[in-house]
Each structure stands twice: as structure tokens, then as C-alpha cells.
């Protein structure tokens, strides 16, 4: 088991603010066109935002070295702002993260609309350093700030027939230029089985590196489900719906032969166009470095494998 009990870690000890701010200042001040083309400076609007107060360390954190802040915030998948990894940091400045609300509806006893300010006050915030794995073969270690999604679920009291939780994200062409390209059917939709949504590792996330989420990382609220491929962790959520039937998720709808509903990290199940047996850690391993071996459930098997006991995970990928 790779999760360690480290209650002494606080967000500022993971990577000091001075270190990662100094790194960005160095990049910005070089100013040479050739170097800037290869390592562009982070735009001023993408700098760290307000710090989240009252954040506690979490026993769920890995002790692996976090991916540098610059990589976490400039190398992203967020198709609503473009399909290139550098598009979100360039174009997400148009996203208005305040005011914001999240509608919770469906098979619940207490449907409710939460303002983002109410969500931020709902439970004690934790800093959790999670391994995150992309289906494309790259990974990061990210210090997220949030609290278990289960805390929100308890507030609305799911009905007895609620078996799945559907997450619907913002789809506003005025704010999201990528919506003008039919890469997917918008809005972006993801889903979890109820026991997955209630698992303590499933994090309702409001920050990264102790700061409020930048727009390109899914502001103001997203999921972090560390044992699944990254596309399962929906960004900029506006609606949460409890259902009896399995929701039709965006990538499963677009390419069901490539993206299953569960999408657990599984090195034994190849993507039809590439192997999932290895991965490249962003910010650490260069393109010519030996790749890492992918871990079942992204290294969280001890915590979540029991959720899938008796299931054929090659068929139900």
C-alpha cells in the first residue's frame, strides 16, 4: 500500500510557494523567443489565486513527490477550451467561476441548489496528494484540496433507488470556445456508481496546491477520483443527479469500445490504440526516460479493489 499516514504534512510543506513562484518568475524573465516557444511563461491571470483557509493534512495522501505547480496548471485535458494540452491555460480566462451554483436533483429526499460559498463551508477541507493517471499514458501527483463527496451526498439523503450519481459540467459557448468544435456531445457528463461516489477517496475538489482551483483545472468545483483515469474526474460541475439507471457518460457515448463506464486504471486492459501497462510522469521523466509501470487501480487497490469483487474487469473496463 502506497498511502502513508503523514498527519504532519501541511500544504506549505509539499512544495514551498517561494520555490514554485521563483520557478515561474525565472521562466517569465528569460524572455528569449526560442526558449519561450519551448517553455512558455504562465499568463498573469493563471497565477495562484487566494489561499484556502483552515486546510488540514490528510492521512489519504501519498508521500510521492508532487508534480510541479507549473505542470499541473499548464498541461491539461479540458476540451471545453480546446483539445491541445496547452489550450486550457491559454483560453480558460473566459470562464467566470463566480457566481456559481450546483444543482443536486433526482432520486434524493432533499434536492437542493448549493451556492459555491455554501459548498466551501460544508465540511472541513483537507489537503490530499493523489496520484492521477490519464488514459493517454501520462500521470501526475497533485495536491488537491477538498473533502469527500460523501459529505455532500449525506446532505441531500439519496432515496433507496439511487444507484448511480451523474455529474454534468458547464456548457456555455460564450465562456468555453472549445464547445464550438463537436469533439464530444456537450455538456460533458460523467458518472459513478453510488458506492464509488461514497468512497472516502472520492474528493469534491476546490483547490490545488493550497490555492483555489485555477480555471484550467476545473474551477470552481470538480471531482478527483484517483483510482480511475482522469476523464472520470469531471470539471466545472453545475449539476449532480442521482439515478437508478447507469448514466450515459460522454466518452462512453462517443467511443464505447475505447472508454468503458468504470474506467478503472488497469494495466492489463489496453486501450485499443495503445498499451496501458506503462506511464510517463509529467515534470519528472523526460521523453527518453524509462517509463513507470502502471499500478492496478493507480496504486489504490488496497482501498478500492473490494468495490469490484467478482466483476470481470476486462469486460467491464
Find how far residue 247's CA is from the centre of its chain.
19
In the chain, where the domains are located: 11-253
Check: CB of residue 239 under 8 Å from CB of residue 168: yes
Give me 67's grid cell.
Answer: 508534480
pLDDT tier for residue 290 given thresholds of 50, 70 and 90: confident
Find how far residue 106's CA is from the centre of its chain.
24
- pLDDT, tens digit (0-9, with 9 covering 90-100), for 20-69: 444 444 334 433 333 233 334 555 545 566 889 889 999 999 999 999 99
**Across residues 247-264, what is the average pLDDT?**
97
Segment holding 131, helix H or strand E: strand 126-133
The model's pTM is 0.85
- pLDDT, tens digit (0-9, with 9 covering 90-100), for 127-179: 999 999 999 999 999 999 999 999 999 999 999 999 999 999 999 999 999 99
Find how far residue 169's CA is from the centre of its chain.
13
CA-closest candidate to residue 90, choices 76, 103, 101:
76
Compute the C-alpha angle 154/203/168, nearest 5°: 80
Residues 142 and 131: their CA atoms lie apart, in Å, by: 6
Q: Report the pLDDT value the prediction gives residue 286, as an integer from 0 to 100.
A: 65
**Across residues 291-307, what is the average pLDDT?**
97
Compute the C-alpha angle 307/312/317, nearest 5°: 80
CATH for 11-253, options being 3.90.420.10, 2.70.98.50, 1.20.140.10, 2.120.10.70: 3.90.420.10
Check: CB of residue 275 under 8 Å from CB of residue 284: no
233: helix, strand or coil: coil
- Cβ neighbourhood burial of 315 (10 Å; 0-12, 13-18, 19+): exposed
Question: How does strand 222-224 pair with strand 126-133?
Answer: unpaired
Check whether 311 has a pLDDT greater than 90: yes
Check: CB of residue 61 under 8 Å from CB of residue 200: no
**Across residues 243-270, what is the average pLDDT?**
97
- pLDDT, tens digit (0-9, with 9 covering 90-100), for 57-107: 999 999 999 999 999 999 999 999 999 999 999 999 999 999 999 999 999
Amino acid at each position: 500500500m502506497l498511502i502513508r499516514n503523514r498527519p504532519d504534512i501541511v500544504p506549505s510543506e509539499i512544495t514551498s510557494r517561494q520555490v514554485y513562484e521563483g520557478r515561474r518568475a525565472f521562466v517569465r524573465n528569460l524572455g528569449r523567443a526560442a526558449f519561450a516557444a519551448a517553455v512558455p511563461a504562465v499568463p498573469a491571470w493563471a497565477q495562484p489565486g487566494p489561499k484556502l483557509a483552515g486546510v488540514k493534512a490528510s492521512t489519504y495522501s501519498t508521500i510521492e513527490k508532487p508534480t510541479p505547480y507549473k505542470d499541473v496548471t499548464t498541461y491539461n485535458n479540458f476540451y471545453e477550451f480546446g483539445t491541445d494540452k496547452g489550450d486550457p491555460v491559454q483560453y480558460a480566462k473566459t470562464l467566470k467561476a463566480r457566481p456559481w451554483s450546483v444543482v443536486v436533483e433526482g432520486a434524493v429526499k432533499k434536492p437542493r441548489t448549493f451556492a459555491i460559498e455554501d459548498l466551501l463551508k460544508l465540511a472541513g477541507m483537507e489537503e490530499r496528494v493523489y496520484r492521477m493517471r490519464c488514459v493517454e499514458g501520462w500521470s501526475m501527483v497533485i495536491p488537491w484540496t477538498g473533502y469527500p463527496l460523501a459529505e455532500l451526498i449525506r446532505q441531500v439523503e439519496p432515496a433507496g433507488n439511487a444507484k448511480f450519481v451523474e455529474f454534468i459540467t458547464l456548457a456555455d459557448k460564450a465562456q468555453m470556445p472549445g464547445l464550438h468544435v463537436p469533439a464530444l456531445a456537450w455538456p460533458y457528463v460523467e458518472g459513478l456508481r453510488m458506492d464509488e461516489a461514497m468512497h472516502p477517496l472520492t474528493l469534491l475538489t476546490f483547490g490545488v496546491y493550497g490555492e483555489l482551483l485555477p480555471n484550467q483545472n476545473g474551477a470552481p468545483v470538480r471531482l478527483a477520483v484517483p483510482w480511475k483515469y482522469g476523464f472520470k474526474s469531471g470539471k466545472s460541475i453545475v449539476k449532480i443527479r442521482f439515478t437508478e439507471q447507469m448514466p450515459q457518460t460522454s466518452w462512453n457515448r462517443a467511443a464505447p469500445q475505447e472508454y468503458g463506464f468504470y474506467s478503472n486504471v488497469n494495466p492489463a486492459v489496453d486501450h485499443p490504440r495503445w498499451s496501458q501497462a506503462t506511464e510517463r510522469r509529467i515534470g519528472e521523466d523526460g521523453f527518453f526516460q524509462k517509463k513507470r509501470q502502471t499500478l492496478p487501480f493507480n496504486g489504490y487497490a488496497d482501498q478500492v479493489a473490494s468495490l469490484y469483487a467478482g466483476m470481470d474487469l476486462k469486460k467491464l473496463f
